[in-house]
Amino acid sequence: MSYAFPDSDPRPPRRSRRGPLTVAVVAPVAAALAGWLVWQAVADSGDGGTPKAAPPSQQQSSAAAGTTAPASPTASDRDGPDDADDGTDGDKNDGNQGDEASSSAPAATGPLKGKVVVIDPGHNPGNFRHTAEISRLVDIGTHRKECDTTGTSTNAGYTEAQFTLDVSRRLRALLEKQGATVRFTQDGDRAWGPCVDERARIGNKAGADAVVSVHADGSAAGNRGFHVILPGSVKAGAADTRAIVGPSRELGERIAGNFVRVTGSAPSNYVGNGTGLVVRRDLGGLNLSTVPKVFIECGNMRDSKDASLVTSGAWRQKAAQGISEGIVSFLRG
C-alpha cells in the first residue's frame, strides 16, 4: 500500500469500560520494542513514510500466472509464496458489485456470536489488468484520489494482493471459530477493485462492529516491522470520522499489542516512533467509514528479512492469529 503524508492527532481518552493494552515483549525484539512500551505517553508522530515503488512489469506477469491454493489454511501449509491463493481464476464480473460483501455463514456458537466483522483484503490480484478502471478518481471527502492501486510486491514477485487474500482467509477461519459473522470486501471473486469508497461503504452497510483492512508495505530496504493505521478526525464533504476515532484507536491498539505478542514482530522502525500506530487523514477507506476501522501493514515486502516472513505460510498464520486476537479482545471488551 502507498504510504504518504500521515497526519497526527492527539490521543483521545480511553473509555473506562476496557482495560489497558498489554504488550508481551519477547527477547528477540526487546530492543525494537522499547518505544512500544511507552506509547501511552507519546502522541502519534505523524511521520511521513517512504512511497512504495511500483512492482516491475515482470512481477505483474508473475501475479497473472499465480497458482491456486485452498481458500482456508490447512495443516500442510508450506513456507513460500506458492502456498497462497492469488485469486486469479478469471474475470468473474466487471468489478462493480454494488457495494455487496462476500459473506460467511454466521457461526452457531462462540463468544462473538451476533458480531459482524468486515475484512478488507487490500488491492486485488486483477488490478494490474484494469489500470484505467482503478486509476479513475473517487471522492474521499478531503480530496479525490485513485479508485485503487495494484499494491506492492516482494522483489521476487510475490504480490501484496496475494498476501492480503491469504491472511484474510486465515483470519476469517479464526473469527468464525469465535462465532463471528465475517464478510469480505472482495475474495478474489471480482475482476478488479473495489474502489476505496466502495470498500468503506461495504463496512458501513454491514453495520460492522469492526473492520480491518489487511495490507503489507512497500518501503525502502532496511525499513522493517508492522504498523497499524488509525483514522484521523475528519469532517469534510462525505467524510466524518469524529464518532469512530476513539473506538478505532482502541481496535488498533488491541490489534497491535496482540500482533507483537503472537508474531514476535517489532513495530515499524520507520514510522510511528516505535509505537506501531500511525494516524492518517488521506485514506478513503478510513475517511468514509462510519464504523470502527483500521488498516494494518503487516511488514515491508521490499525488505529481504520482512519478505522472508510474509512469504512464509507459517508466519502468515501467526499474523492472522495476532489480528484475530486483537479483534476478539476489542469486541469482548
Q: Average pLDDT, stretch 173-194?
A: 97
Give the whole-angstrom CA distance, residue 218 versus residue 168: 19
* Spatial distance between the Cα atoms of 138 and 150, rounded to a whole number of angstroms: 16
Confidence of residue 90 (pLDDT cuts 50, 70, 90): very low
Residue appearing with cell numbers 512500551: 37
Closest CA to 264 of 319, 216, 219: 319
State the pTM of this model.
0.74
Please tell me the predicted confidence (pLDDT) of residue 50.
Answer: 37
Phi, psi of 149 (to 5 degrees): -135, 175
Q: What is the CA radius of gyration of the chain?
A: 18
CA 285 – CA 241 distance, rounded (Å): 11
- 88, 146, 223, 67 alpha-carbon torsion, rounded to 10°: 0
**Predicted confidence (pLDDT) per residue in 10-52, tens digit:** 444 444 444 444 333 334 434 444 444 333 333 333 333 333 4
The residues, any chain, with a CB within 8 Å of residue 30's CB and separated by 6 or more, are none
Give me the sign of the Cα torsion angle 83, 85, 86, 89: positive
CATH fold for the domain made of 27-57+103-332: Aminopeptidase (3.40.630)
Confidence band of 123 (pLDDT split at 50, 70, 90): very high
Which of 176, 198, 253, 297 does the annotation list as catalytic? Answer: 297
Predicted pLDDT of residue 105: 56
Domain ranges (residues) in the chain = 27-57+103-332
- What span, in angstroms and rounded, lies between the C-alpha atoms of 81 and 255? 24
Most confident among 47-56, 74-83, 103-112 (mean pLDDT): 103-112
Q: How far apart are alpha carbons 202 and 102 in whole angstroms?
A: 10
Among 25-29, 63-67, 155-159, 167-171, the minimum mean pLDDT is found in 63-67
100: annotated active-site residue: no
More confident of the two residues 248 and 29:
248
- pLDDT tens, position by position, 276-293: 999 999 999 999 999 999
Q: CA 7, CA 194: separation in Å to the nearest integer?
A: 25
Instruction: Decide the pairing of beta strands 210-217 and 116-121.
Output: parallel
Q: Which pLDDT band, with edges at 50, 70 and 90, does 109 fall under?
A: confident
DSSP per-residue codes, 259-321: HHHHH-PPBPSSSGGGSSEEEES--HHHHT-SS-EEEEEEEETTSHHHHHHHT-HHHHHHHHH
Averaged pLDDT of the chain? 79
- Residue 25 near residue 33, CB atoms below 8 Å: yes
